[in-house]
Structure 1
């Protein structure tokens, strides 16, 4: 449906206000306006769950300039509106809605949403809620407010919220008191809650305290906001406890009305501690069959976290200046973006054949020994203390602030994160490492298990074949196991990488898992 004249004016005025704010300011406050077409789809989806006999009491708790109310005016059709309320803390955006919808009996409140939610007169007041709450990350939420909201959620719902939770989780959970019985709510929120640990309270709420109707997860390569790098989903539920054989629809990709993939997922006994993803749902249904995964063949460990890369990763000039002994140096790889080849060859001394080799300073001697026996190294360490590096979190947590985690060089490495380029290629890169270099925590180390290592040593040409096999794992498989963000950004943790499945195995790798079991 073509946007109304009012909607076109709203969008124009919204852009005018957007231009008065810096990108940093909007990031801090999580102000990313919803495209009108998407708002219309969400409103239409929500209205379909309300009987025509029920007059609509509408709430838009993160109003912005009123895009969801604008969509409601277009989609309402045969439903009657009893009341409509929008809550917005930013007066500049609220004024747009006040100006444009003054004759529509739309009440715009320039007010803090959480104060609105606590007002006794608003309990069970609304039967339709559609919004895109601010995506404010946890470190931008004042600790006093965070603690206050955590107590409110605990008192209202008996749920314990992690301090890592973004503001949107509080918006969703504290809206429970505002919804009338059988009321319908739809939220456009970051999809991270589907798989991160701190998303469990929201998954718990959706699976046990309301009847979840649907979740549509957008393809992270298709960002829903032009200026926000966050992968989104739309969650729709009804304010009633799930009963009987309740289930919900989980869809992915495409649009809400025409998704690329769809699953009907059992809601009863849903484990909120598990990720909610196509992979896990398909595993539950036995749709994946036997899968050969990376974890069947490799031990996986994260790269070294130094706490101060700029100090502990040094070049030959620093080594020479401070006369740092070779035994305290380990060659270390640069960021994946500086590795142009998937195969890392080695020099005779074990260093990688790359430009500008650097080294990790790795000394595990106590300070008094270093001071007495290695004055150059001691001088360098003292220069780090003058910078306050010993007080940084990771450094301060070590027995001696300059000690490093222990990592052996691994034959294979994987990048911890990467961006897909839109052509279907996987975002995570694998490397074959013939050198003695280790890596920082932007990599994951892959150590072949003994049975696999034996086969690779029998025929070294298999090493490159295995590398190509891993780099051929399709994007969709990473989507199933890893974490997807906006703009095509993907991350994979060690525990997730082990679940990554090979598309197929060469004959020489078949039976390796069984051999490995014999070795154990």
Structure 2
């Protein structure tokens, strides 16, 4: 990456318009294939701005040729993070790019495709490392492709084509010769914001490959689907993605694609306490493959991917083990065998707390509930994980400062409640997404309150507490519900055991900074003593 700019020198790029002007001056329109209408429109805007100085251009050219990406760095400054995140634009640091590019080039590809190219860091890296063959760089953002054109023009890449378009719609000639390599950092966009047509495409593409695709899959998973559909025997690739797919249910499609369809060769996983992306709280994984490869897979956890030098080494994991496993990270950290313990799910179901869809309406302070005369329609509620972490293993109603509106029947509506619900309608609470999908909108449901509550996301293992007053919990916590009725004494003994063994609990997933998260099924999988043994210990 480029070094810091001298404080005495005015910043060359202070806006997107200025960035476009710099790209135009560097020759973005002169090479790398025809411009799209959107790209041409951006570059026309550049004509209305002063041309960057010769000194500025010379400095930028020197930085690009030396291995930096001043255009991409400027883009990350002038475009707000919220806008970049909407397109999944999280840029990859230089050391990772170089290591991935070196791995790909060592396998002598004939064509290299930079998927979701951004400013073209991967396409530029393979060029600097001596690749002179056909390179295709594709991105849906026209400013990204204009930056890539500028970078590759400066590097003198004569066989590069930059495509402003969607990888999901890319087609490659069946007559292409040799091996095609796919490289890059697919955009990280969560499933919530994917267009319906993208989800339909994913289902159709998954069906064609015989892979079941979860509706919770993000855009990076769809990119892997597209690559699998474009690949032929002998093709290869190297991608860096958020690592969550290694262990979660909705990552099964990616695990199947990499293990069985694409031929995973190696997997380099970042330490959960570090991040490979500058502004994303996510652990990263680099997956490398060759279509047709079927031997053991090399797996390695790297303390800091940012200091990565090469994709080498690691523990050999058999293909059969990889295919059977639903939690790939555990293959590097196998759970210790503990005789006599059983999954918590043997005795209990775990459910997330109530999602109100409008906490500001449904959660009230005790004083507000009294003032509004809603005392008969509320129940004490645990609203923060800290209330469990600091509870000493028992949450009590009289220690809670908030209550939850709990109305089950329209017949319960007295004057005060009718007035409060009418106020909610005036503020359009009933039109919120979750409220709109409840009938009636004010009935939260959620079943009986749980006898045990647990934290599930913190920079520490889960903490457990009994809930003898049967307070409600919201969705920052999990509730543990016994499958068969047990006494409070058994619940208390189980909570004591769990909290005394927190440091030995395995499972869940770990994000950047050591943030651990347990989904309900993952919490059900933790190992506990049989309840009859707990009862015997209590009696003793």
- Of the three residues 316, 325, 350, the one matched with 1:300 is 350
**So what's the TM-score if we normalise by structure 1?**
0.77
Instruction: Provide the residue aligned with 1:65 in structure 2.
Output: 119
Q: Verify: 1:24 aligned to 2:82, yes or no.
A: yes
Shift in Å, 1:237: 1.1
Alignment of 1:440-455 (within 5 A): 440-447=474-481
Preserved CA contact (<8 Å) 1:299 1:447: yes
Q: Verify: 1:94 aligned to 2:145, yes or no.
A: yes
Instruction: Provide the residue aligned with 1:512 in structure 2.
Output: 533
Preserved CA contact (<8 Å) 1:252 1:260: no
Structure 1 residues not aligned, in runs of 5+: 421-425
Instruction: Between 142-151 and 15-24, report the one with greater CA deviation.
Output: 142-151
Shift in Å, 1:499: 1.9
CA distance in 1, matches of 2:121, 2:439: 55
- Name the SS for the 1:64 alignment partner: coil
- Of the three residues 340, 362, 378, the one matched with 1:312 is 362
- Of the three residues 179, 184, 195, the one matched with 1:131 is 184
**So what's the TM-score if we normalise by structure 2?**
0.75
Instruction: Provide the residue aligned with 1:423 in structure 2.
Output: none
Residues 1:307 and 1:99: Cα distance change in structure 2 (over 3 Å): closer
Residues 1:482 and 1:258: Cα distance change in structure 2 (over 3 Å): farther
- Of the three residues 510, 523, 529, the one matched with 1:484 is 510
- Name the SS for the 1:264 alignment partner: strand
Preserved CA contact (<8 Å) 1:345 1:353: no
Residues 1:412 and 1:324: Cα distance change in structure 2 (over 3 Å): same
State the Cα RMSD in Å. 3.9
Alignment of 1:356-371 (within 5 A): 357-365=401-409, 367=410, 369-371=411-413
Preserved CA contact (<8 Å) 1:345 1:433: yes
Q: Verify: 1:416 aligned to 2:456, yes or no.
A: yes
Residues 1:259 and 1:39: Cα distance change in structure 2 (over 3 Å): closer
- Name the SS for the 1:165 alignment partner: coil
Instruction: Provide the residue aligned with 2:23 in structure 1.
Output: none
Preserved CA contact (<8 Å) 1:130 1:186: yes
CA distance in 2, matches of 1:451, 1:259: 53
Alignment of 1:152-301 (within 5 A): 152=205, 154-155=207-208, 157-240=209-292, 242=294, 246-254=295-303, 255=305, 263-268=315-320, 271=323, 275-279=326-330, 288=337, 290=339, 292=341, 293-295=343-345, 299-301=349-351
Instruction: Provide the residue aligned with 2:399 in structure 1.
Output: 353
Shift in Å, 1:128: 2.3
- Name the SS for the 1:104 alignment partner: coil
Residues 1:9 and 1:232: Cα distance change in structure 2 (over 3 Å): closer
Structure 2 residues not aligned, in runs of 5+: 4-61
Aligned residues: 473
